[in-house]
Amino acid sequence: MKLYPLMANLEGRTVLVVGGGTVATRKVKALLDTGAEIRVVSPAFTDEIRSLIDEKKIRGFQRNFTPSDLDGVSLVFAATDDPALNESISREAKARNIPVNDVTNPEQCGFFVPSHIRRGDLILAISTSGKSPALAKWLRQKIEEEIGREYEILTEWMGIIRDYLLAHGYSHEQIRNLSEALLRKELVENLRSNDKAALSKALEAAFRSALNHGVPPDLATSLGVS
């Protein structure tokens, strides 16, 4: 199985989770920050899912799955503990060309949810194509030791700088050159130690080497290093 990696924008889309146990709970919690409308269908729910329903963060339907539950749905998780039911859900979803993840049968999956690390807008995803979730989890834990909150700040900064340069008429080549100049080991180390003086010096050096001028004062203020 050769997978093609994608990042999905689920904002405003409906995602169906069929199942109300531990696995379904993990799927629901991972979806909460995506902006999706989350529907959960199951005869029983964990306390966590019940709380989310009561808080109106998700919609819950305490009953058995029916094919009509797929109406208007963009993505499906077949997350029950019954392989035969999950297979049936998968068939119904595929008949409607809806991507489905069958938690009990990787070969039936139209997509996988990789083990991932999130630092703000930075997402690092690890997949073994369904062959070993344990290996993906182990690798994630190893990488998490190296990727701290400084990378969240770095991602935010890179976005602020890029937006600023685009708004002020800089070319894509100039933006690329500056981005490459910024992505140096010392900048990450300065962010990790929150050394404002060193950060200001590193930014200034990158701007002068790539754009032949210093950091604009209003941009420095936006970055919090003025």
Work out the average pLDDT over 138-162. 93
Q: 8-50 pLDDT, tens per residue?
A: 999 999 999 999 999 999 999 999 999 999 999 999 999 999 9
Q: How sure is the predictor about 187, in pLDDT bands with cuts at 50, 70 and 90?
A: confident
43-47, 182-186, 201-205: segment of lowest average pLDDT: 182-186
Looking at residue 76, which CATH number applies to its domain? 3.40.50.720
Whether residue 160 sits in one domain with residue 215: yes
Q: How sure is the predictor about 93, in pLDDT bands with cuts at 50, 70 and 90?
A: very high
If 0-12 CB within 10 Å is exposed, 13-18 middle and 19+ buried, where does residue 25 land?
buried
The answer to the question of residue 2 being in a domain is no
Task: Out of 87, 113, 139, pick the residue that ends a domain.
Answer: 113
| One-letter identity of residue 203 | L
The answer to the question of residue 181 being in a domain is yes
Work out the average pLDDT over 113-132. 87
Q: What does the mean pLDDT of the chain come to?
A: 93
Whether residue 109 sits in one domain with residue 20: yes
Residue appearing with tokens 């392989």: 83
Residue 6 pLDDT more than 90? no
Strand (E) or helix (H) holding 61 = strand 59-61
The answer to the question of residue 58 being in a domain is yes
Q: Is the pTM of this model over 0.85?
A: no
Task: Out of 66, 86, 113, pick the residue that ends a domain.
Answer: 113
Strand (E) or helix (H) holding 77 = strand 75-78
| One-letter identity of residue 165 | L
Residue 1 pLDDT more than 70? no
The number of beta carbons lying within 10 Å of the beta carbon of residue 123 is 12
The answer to the question of residue 207 being in a domain is yes
Long-range contacts formed by 10-14: CB under 8 A, 24+ apart: 10/34, 10/35, 10/36, 10/74, 10/75, 11/35, 11/36, 12/36, 12/37, 13/37, 13/74, 13/75, 14/39, 14/72, 14/73, 14/74
The number of beta carbons lying within 10 Å of the beta carbon of residue 48 is 15
53-57, 104-108, 179-183, 216-220: segment of lowest average pLDDT: 104-108
Residue ranges making up the domain that contains 45: 14-113
The answer to the question of residue 143 being in a domain is no
pLDDT at 112: 84
Q: How sure is the predictor about 213, in pLDDT bands with cuts at 50, 70 and 90?
A: very high
> How many domains does the chain divide into?
2
Q: How sure is the predictor about 226, in pLDDT bands with cuts at 50, 70 and 90?
A: confident
Whether residue 161 sits in one domain with residue 106: no
pLDDT at 47: 97
The answer to the question of residue 104 being in a domain is yes
Whether residue 98 sits in one domain with residue 20: yes
Pull the structure tokens for residue 83: 């392989």
Whether residue 83 sits in one domain with residue 25: yes
Residue 185 pLDDT more than 80? no
Task: Out of 52, 85, 113, pick the residue that ends a domain.
Answer: 113
Strand (E) or helix (H) holding 142 = helix 133-144
Residue appearing with tokens 């993505």: 75
